[in-house]
Amino acid sequence: MKRNIIIGVASIIVAFGAIIGLAKACAPQTDPTPASSVATQSKNKKTHHKKAKKINAAIYRPYKDPKDLRKAGTWKKKSETKKHPKINPNETDLTLRVSLKGNRTYLLRKGKVIYTMLSTGGIYKKGKSLTPTGKYTIQGGRGDSFFNYNLGEGANNWTSWSPDNVYLFHSVPTKGDGTYNLKEAKKLGQTQGSHGCIRLSVPDSRWIMNNIPNGTKVVIKDK
């Protein structure tokens, strides 16, 4: 009888063990993501962060003039001998980087310079430019021409980078009769001269007005 009891208990234990084994095999894992996959995701995030840092750093570094950049003072032609780059109206990875003391405006795509323009920013008074430095965006304000009677100066092909349309990208200045001010035009790419706006060559200013999307980042630095 004792033997039968022992055999019965043993059978129950075996059956219970089988049930537990089946339960473990069918239960969903609490963490279905392998450790190697988690490590890969973390690595990808770090890589993306590094790329973002590199792009941001690229926007602020000084750049060398391209070989096909025209001579400073050239205002009737586009700044580079090559064609202006093709821009998608929906692009969001563009930046216009302005160097006030360098008298250059750079167009970057994903942190890489794709076009360099001769430019002239605000004159310096007490060591500070009349052009504000910082981060801005291209606004909806654009137009073929304007004239400021208080300053006795106008320009063509303007594109705003301030909400109130005070600060603009535009052509070299025009006089009251609509002709270009040759004395001021010769400053393009050589020295500062504006009251706060960024002057460009006539073709470059027209191209920006017609092609650069609203919302494009604008970064203005002294150097």
Catalytic residues: 170, 197
List CB contacts of 194: < 8 A, sequence separation 6 or more.
120, 121, 122, 123, 130, 131, 173
Inter-CA distances, 162 with 59, 138, 142, 167, 209, Å: 20, 7, 11, 6, 14
User: SS3 of 33, please?
Assistant: coil
Helix (H, G, I), strand (E, B) or coil at 213: coil
Quote the tokens at residue 57: 């750093």
Rounded Cα distance, 111 and 35, in Å: 34
> Count of CB atoms within 10 A of residue 39's CB?
10
